[in-house]
Amino acid sequence: MNTILIQILGALATILLAFIVGMFYGGAHRKVIARIQNRVGPPIYQNFIDVLKLYSKETSINHGVMQHMGPVFAITASITSLMFVPILTDGNWFSNLNFSGDLVFLVYMMVFGSLGMALGAGQTGNPNSAIGVTRGLSQMVGYEIPFVMAMVALMTQFHTTSITGMIAVQQQSGTWLMFSNPFAFMAAIMAMLGMFSYAPFDIVTAPAEVSSGPISEFGGKYLGMMMTSGSIFAFVKLALFVDIFMGGASNLVVLVIKTFALYMIPVLYGVISPRYRTEQAITYFWKWPLFFGFIAILYAAF
Amino acid sequence: MYNDKNAQTIVDYIQNFTRKNSLFMLAYGTGCGAIELPATLTSRYDAERLGVRGAATPRQADLLLITGYLSTKTLKRVIRVYEQMQDPKYVIGFGSCTINGGMYWDSYNTIKLLDKYIPVDVYINGCMPRPESVISGFQELKRLIAAGKADGAKKYKENLEWYRENQKKVLKNWPLVEYNW
Amino acid sequence: MNSLILLLILMFGGALFAFILNKFVPALRDIFVVLLMLGVSYLFFSTGISNRLNFDVLGIHMQWGFTSASYLFGIIVVVLGSLALIYSTAYMKGKDRLGYFYMNFLFSIGAMLGILMSRDLISLFFFWEIMTWSSYFIVIYSGNDVDRRGLKYMIFSAIGAYSMLMAIVIVNSFIGSFLLEDVFASIFAIGSGYQIAIAILLMIGFGVKSAMMPLHVWAPRAYSESPMSYTAVFSGALSKMGVFGFALVLFNLVSTQNWLINEVVAWLAAITSVLATFYAVIQSDAKKLLAYSSIAQIGYIIIGLASNTYLGVMAGLFLAVLHAVFKSTLFMAVGAVERQVGTTDMTKISGLIRRMPWTFVATLISIIALAGLPPLGGFVGKWMLYEALITSGHYYLVIMVFLSSTAAFLYSYRILFGMFLGQEEPEFAHVKEAPLSMLIPMLILSGISVLSGSHPGFILEPIQSAMASFGFQSNLPHESWWELTVLFNTWGDKVALVNVLTSIVGVFLIALAFITIKGYKNQRYVTTKDISSSGEIIQPEDNMTFQIDFYKPFERAIWPLLKRKIDDYYTDFGKGLEALFDFVRRFYNGNGQFYAIYVMAFLALLLIAGTKYFGF
Ligand code: SF4
């Protein structure tokens, strides 16, 4: 009984950590964009205010049960994936369900949310939502392949498919996997650009083209829940990359430094880029990233 | 929960703080004044530092900005968009045209006073108002929100009959849809 | 009487009786076929796997009986058969030639059971032909052979049958027996060239039925044009006979030295699944989409079998069972939509979710299982397949599978959106939910999909004994099926399904409760016509749903792959043959003079050649 209570408390702490870090990173993203455009920019805690305001909206409109459940699917996927990603390497802190699933599971779990969200967006009947969803799914086919190639390369190289196993490999050898298999790192980083859907890959929620796409009919608490889910999910992705390629983090400060450094890659790549067309975005991932993935597997296997 | 004018509880205080510092703005670029918005939002004046940012659809927006003269044809769209927004919602009338018709005061197909059709919280006058005055308009709205006085949506709900009557006067043979929040 | 004979007599006799019954008392027909099928199922489950029947026909020794492998497939056949027949009674109501339909339906189920119970090649071939013919008759059920789809099916089946026959003859000339036991025992004694030839010939035969590339050309039309109640069995069970055959060939007739065959089969299956998925993505008809998706899914199954590792084979068989479950549910759901709405063209239908909620639920669950998302059964199969391929060193193969199953999300979403989501149109306001006898089979099958996601043991248990009969020793700890919830790969990495389920369901319920209770009073429902569209007011008759060219950007991206269909190669081949025959026909112009000249020319040739080479 006691252990279950402690587990639940640990899970809540993890969620809170992911939420706060993700929110601040979102604020930092806006700040960076503003500074590069020579603006002052919103305060770094602006995203907290936005989310609180969205939750405090009084009315909320839905077009049916699936739209009502769409954000719930999204946050379920974010939190469940968070439970399976190791946050810190040592100590019993934040080790929620780290030993119950492996990378293959996580790849699927991370897709779950966007598909559930897509169902919710579909029910609104807004054509922009459906267009946004098709763009998102098409883009996903693009970036999943190099990402999976990088993962398969690492799995074959180190004979483990679990994230904890990969952390253990790095702790034993003392080198980060981004140096052990640099090609896999390249492929995965390029795939990460698509995963974050910042420019130039922000074709899903392009406000000027499809008026924010899947979320165009979501407001108030629904939008709030999706922002929450999005920031948790951003943290999940960053923590996963840190665990796999950068040797994990032994304490929170290291974690924040490493994730922030990683987070700046899509952000900085994004601020200076225009937006791709959908098929350009897909084929982008099927050129150099695919090549790097291919080399990475060869490098790992032979 | 609408704010009691006399006594704000701590919850109200926090709610109003978040509401005033996070305004998702739907700029309905009707008239020539819309050209001032890019200047307001970009590097020179940077409204985002005040928490004002653009929203793509009325469902996400808090603030409707009517930038200038409003022809009757556009008015139906504006009413529709206003009704699709979710409470609490605010309207800013931008430019002299929304106040008294401005230089279109005798035009046959523009409305003269926006407040007769949808409840306006803040007017910004000028033809056209410069970004500085737009920002001061935002600040005025923030002050109203903080005081719990920006309750246009509530007024609209209470006086729906009156607004509908006015709308029907200019929008002949146009079926007004039911108010659906 | 031996229960095996009783089983076959009941099936085939019952089929004929159903035909006669339909002539005289059509009212009793539905009840009769359902009761018959339920009786046969009971008989099947009471027949053990130890029952063997030996007899001689025309001096050929034959043997019938189930092994634990064929028993596994038999379970699929009888369960799907019963449910599809229950579904049929409502789906086929009011159509004509029902006696013909039910007779062929029962015939093909009987033939499938016959295939599974035959332990010698002759009866295998015999039942295989009955299955082909009865399914052919249902494919051309509607009477006219649109687009020659029936002909295509028949030609490919005939090619398959001939190559099977050839293989059987070769086997017999070497071994002198048709019994599978003898064949398996002494196949490795004969030359390895013949071994490969036999394996390839048999695999062509089985590959036609399992719609493997490049023999899949018949499948999309045949699946999509036969009545949906039969397609549920066609795609769910009948194609699994091909899988069963593949299993027999790959595990018993191919020695481990010939690993190249396994590789080639796996790669063919992988290419099949990728291309078929891409084709499924660009379809706009729900039936055709599902047909292509069936081809792709059977690709996964065969990859699993061909990987020849313990986990891979288990994944293949698990996916075989699960594909039967969810794909037949999907075909049934599409059939329900077709019956209630009148079309399955997704560019015409939209927004049925409120009209047919239970059909939507069944479709949603099956789609989640198809897409392989946790926590449903499809994920278990996919997980085992990936882990098996990764741990056994099939690096690039696993990428192909990943590509295909990621692209599968596209059509998964398409089918849900196309039929059930989108704007609710007034023209579909009259549509009612499907009758109960169609819903119950769908919901039962969806229940299986759900249960197998967290407790896959009840499917893995029979699979394990089936694999033992293929010669794979179990390495799973023997537990009761309820406890088999943690899966391991050979490197010791695991996924704990119950933890996954609890996490997902727990978070989902809490978040749902939060979002429902928060501001419950001010929550409003609006129709799908009330959407933000830059202020434009959408009238009830305006259809704003985005349906046509749904995945156009994706199509543009993958266009180089799809430019040329395999179909076209066959058409070109056929055209080439026609041109050849045309050319030959020129000689036979019906003029006696010309024939005389041909004879003279031939004689002259003969003379010249004779003097030159043979010297007379
Ligand atoms: S107030 Fe002046 S600038 Fe603004 S819309 Fe009217 S005429 Fe144009």
Distance from CA of B161 to the nearest CA of A (A): 21
Smallest Cβ distance to C532: which of B78, B84, B180? B84
Q: How far is CA B53 from CA A200, A261, B21, C589, in A?
A: 20, 27, 10, 84
Q: Look at A216 and B57 and tell me if their CB atoms are within 8 Å.
A: yes
Where does B10-170 sit in CATH, by number? Answer: 3.40.50.12280
Give the single-character DSSP code of C392.
T
Report which of A236, A239, A238, A247 is spatially closest to residue A179, judged by C-alpha positions.
A247
Please give the full DSSP string across chain A, using - where no structure is assigned: -HHHHHHHHHHHHHHHHHHHHHHHHHHHHHHHHHHHTT-----TTHHHHHHHHHHT-S-EEESSHHHHHHHHHHHHHHHHHHHHS-SSSSSSTT-SSTTS--HHHHHHHHHHHHHHHHHHHHHT--HHHHHHHHHHHHHHHHHHHHHHHHHHHHHHHHT--SHHHHHHHHHHH-S-HHHHSHHHHHHHHHHHHHHHT-TTSTTSS-HHHHTTGGGGG--HHHHHHHHHHHHHHHHHHHHHHHHHHS---SSHHHHHHHHHHHHHHHHHHHHT-----HHHHHHHHTTHHHHHHHHHHHHHH-
Terminal Cα-to-Cα distance of chain B (whole angstroms): 16
Q: Are C385 and C312 in contact (CB under 8 A)?
A: yes
The predicted structure's pLDDT at residue A231: 92
Q: Are A278 and A140 in contact (CB under 8 A)?
A: no
Q: Is the beta carbon of B102 within 6 A of some atom in ligand 1? A: yes
Q: Look at A277 and C523 and tell me if their CB atoms are within 8 Å.
A: no
Which A residues 38-97 touch B at CB under 8 Å? Answer: 38-43, 46, 49-50, 52-53, 56-61
The predicted structure's pLDDT at residue C567: 67
Terminal Cα-to-Cα distance of chain A (whole angstroms): 49
Average pLDDT rounded to a whole number, residues C557-575: 74
The predicted structure's pLDDT at residue C362: 92
Average pLDDT rounded to a whole number, residues C349-373: 90
Q: Look at C524 and B84 and tell me if their CB atoms are within 8 Å.
A: no
The predicted structure's pLDDT at residue B1: 47
pLDDT band at C147; cut points 50, 70, 90: low
Ligand 1 center to B136 CA (angstroms): 18
Q: Is the beta carbon of B96 within 6 A of some atom in ligand 1? A: yes
Q: Which amino acid, residue A253? A: V
What are residue B124's DSSP bridge partners? B94
Query: pTM of this prediction?
Result: 0.89
Split into its structural domains, chain A has a count of 1
Q: Is the pLDDT of residue C479 over 70?
A: no
Burial A57-88 (b: 16+ CB within 10 A, else e): bbbbbbbbebbbbbbbbbbbbbbbbbbbbbbb
What are the domain boundaries of chain B? 10-170
Interchain contact B76–C (C-beta under 8 A): yes
The predicted structure's pLDDT at residue B157: 86
Q: At what angle do helices C310-341 and C357-371 cross, to 10 degrees?
A: 150
Report which of C225, C80, C85, C208 is spatially closest to residue C141, judged by C-alpha positions.
C225
Give the residue numbers spanning the domain of A123: 2-301
> Which segments in chain B show pLDDT lower than 70?
1-8, 175-181
Q: Is the pLDDT of residue C228 over 70?
A: yes
- Residues C275-295: pLDDT tens digits? 889 888 888 888 889 988 988
Report which of C414, C269, C407 is spatially closest to residue A148, judged by C-alpha positions.
C407
Ligand 1 center to B67 CA (angstroms): 8
The predicted structure's pLDDT at residue B104: 87
| Stronger pLDDT, C378 or C214, i.e. the higher one | C378
Q: Is B123 exposed, middle or buried (0-12, 13-18, 19+ CB in 10 A)?
A: buried
Averaged pLDDT score across all residues of chain C: 83
The predicted structure's pLDDT at residue A235: 92
Q: Which residues lie closer than 8 Å to B168 by C-beta, 6 or more apart?
A: B176
| Stronger pLDDT, C58 or B100, i.e. the higher one | B100
Cα distance between residue A43 and residue B17, in whole Å: 14
Q: Report the nearest-CA residue for atom 3 of ligand 1.
A: B128
% of chain C with per-residue pLDDT over 90: 8
Q: Mutation test of the interface with chain C: which of A65, A95, A97, A123, choosing the one with the most C Cβ atoms within 10 A? A: A123
Please give the full DSSP string across A7-47, using - where no structure is assigned: HHHHHHHHHHHHHHHHHHHHHHHHHHHHHHTT-----TTHH
The predicted structure's pLDDT at residue B27: 83
pLDDT along chain A (302 residues), means of 10: 78 89 92 90 90 87 87 91 84 69 86 86 87 89 90 87 85 83 89 86 82 84 90 91 86 89 90 86 87 88 77
| Stronger pLDDT, A267 or C581, i.e. the higher one | A267
Q: Which residues of chain B does C534 touch, with a Cβ-Cβ cutoff of 8 Å? A: 77
Q: Which of B7-11, C255-259, C361-365 has the highest mean pLDDT?
A: C361-365
pLDDT band at C612; cut points 50, 70, 90: low
Q: Are C477 and C450 in contact (CB under 8 A)?
A: no
Indicate the length of chain A as a whole number. Answer: 302
- Residues C178-219: pLDDT tens digits? 888 888 888 777 777 788 888 888 888 888 888 887 788 888
Q: Is the pLDDT of residue C477 over 70?
A: no
Q: How far is CA A267 from CA A200, A262, A289, B52, C510, in A?
A: 10, 9, 18, 21, 33
Average pLDDT rounded to a whole number, residues C160-179: 84
Report which of A231, A278, A281 is spatially closest to residue A259, judged by C-alpha positions.
A231
Q: Which atom of ligand 1 is nearest to the CA of B31?
A: 5
Ligand 1 center to B70 CA (angstroms): 10
Cα distance between residue B179 and residue B162, in whole Å: 13
Q: Is the link from the previous residue into C214 a cis peptide, with omega within 30 of 0? A: yes
Alpha-helical regions (H) of B89-170: 97-100, 131-146, 152-158, 160-170
Q: Look at C522 and B87 and tell me if their CB atoms are within 8 Å.
A: yes
Q: How far is CA A199 from CA A46, A203, A206, A215, B48, in A?
A: 21, 8, 9, 17, 19
Q: Which residues lie closer than 8 Å to A155 by C-beta, 6 or more apart?
A: A103, A161, C390
What are residue B148's DSSP bridge partners? none
Report which of A193, A199, A211, A232 is spatially closest to residue A71, judged by C-alpha positions.
A232
Distance from CA of A108 to the nearest CA of B (A): 30
Ligand 1 center to B107 CA (angstroms): 13
Q: Are C377 and C453 in contact (CB under 8 A)?
A: yes
Q: Are A119 and A66 in contact (CB under 8 A)?
A: yes
Cα distance between residue C83 and residue C332, in whole Å: 10
